[in-house]
Amino acid sequence: MKRQSCISAFVFACQFSFTYILIAITLSVFSSLYSEVESYARKILNLIASVADITKARVAAENIMNVINETAMEMDNLSDEGFRPKVVGRISMQNVEFRYPSRPVIPILKEISLQVAPGQSVAIVGPSGSGKSSIISLFQRMYEPTKGQVFLDNYNIRSVNPGYLHRVVVSVGQEPTLFSFTIKENISYGLPEDEATMDKIIEAAKVANIHEFISSYHRAMKPRAVVRNPVVLLLDEATAALDSTSEKLVQAALETASKNCTCITVAHRLSSIRKADRIIVLVEGKIAEQGTHQELMEEKGLYYEMNQLEI
């Protein structure tokens, strides 16, 4: 009897031990499996979260490849190729459409055709984003039109030597670059040494009203355009960053400089362009109105409304 009890106790102990081992193994496996599932779940969540970054990286890689594969212009700024014609300053656009390369789906200019006669003063106005500065950029050949042609006299500007083009077509922007040089060197920057005479620089400074006193670096850079005696002068909100006193001085200087050349002005203050021979109103990349100040005011259209808001 005692022996049977011992055997029963031993069997029970073995069963209990075996059951304990199975439970321990099961818990261990479950714990391990749970850890693995949790780890993979975290990885999947991280992968889902990085989809946006992957998309951005793909777009960036495409842009990089586009730059790498970009074909060079027929002529660069240092090229000796291209025409250097003696021009009188007639500029025009024929059926020009334009989209910025970085935003190819957004049309900026739509079927723009315009002609500016030699010596004529033309102002371009319109709401922000209407394409005013884009026209200035195309006349400088900073970009190529998506469609259509841009002409200087009878020459497509694609056929004109770029360096020569930038000598006869001069622009003055809202934020001119002031280099770490003397004022004399800044004014004559980019001119051949034989053309950068002191007399010409002083005369340009006088025309720009800075020979006696310079109140801001914006005024200091205006003679850079004057000293070049441009055939075409492009003014892209050239007085936007000035106070009222400086604006009047610079405006007077630019009007003097533009008397002997073709001038296109992009302006945000309508009071500064009332004397223009022609005013073009751009809206969403299209020419909405054009005429003299008096003609447009009599039409009582968009230009009239813009003037009323400025009063």
Does 92 have pLDDT greater than 90?
A: yes
More confident residue, 19 or 63: 63
Cα 189 to Cα 20, 184, 199, 201, 268, distances in angstroms: 91, 8, 15, 11, 28
Looking at residue 244, its pLDDT comes to: 63
What's the pLDDT band for 261 if we cut at 50, 70, 90? confident
For residue range 50-91, list pLDDT tens digits in order: 777 888 888 888 888 877 776 655 666 666 777 888 889 899
Q: Which of 120-124, 164-168, 277-281 has the lowest mean pLDDT?
A: 164-168
- 216 in Cβ contact with 208 (< 8 Å): no
The amino acid at residue 36 is E
Quick one: pLDDT at residue 42? 76
User: From CA 226, how far away is CA 207, in angstroms rounded?
Assistant: 8
Region of poorest pLDDT, from 36-40, 64-68, 265-269: 36-40
**How deeply is 262 buried, as exposed, middle or buried, from its count of CB atoms within 10 A (0-12, 13-18, 19+)?**
buried
Give the tokens for residue 99. Answer: 């989209």
The more confidently predicted of residues 138 and 247 is 138
Higher-pLDDT residue of 256 and 113 is: 113
Q: What is the pLDDT of residue 49?
A: 74
* Best-predicted range by mean pLDDT (196-200, 214-218, 255-259, 296-300): 296-300
Average of per-residue pLDDT across 133-147: 92
Contact yes or no for 269/239 (Cβ under 8 A): yes
Q: How far apart are CA 75 and CA 101, in angstroms?
A: 19
Query: For helices 51-69 and 2-49, what crossing angle results, to 10°?
Result: 40
Reported pTM: 0.68
User: Do residues 225 and 173 touch, judged by C-beta distance below 8 A?
Assistant: no
Q: What is the pLDDT of residues 189-242, one digit of tens each?
A: 777 777 777 887 777 777 666 666 555 555 566 667 767 778 998 888 766 666
Mean pLDDT of 125-129: 88
> Above 70 in pLDDT, residue 247?
no
Mean pLDDT across the chain: 78
Instruction: State residue 309's pLDDT score.
Output: 80
User: What is the average pLDDT across 47-51?
Assistant: 75
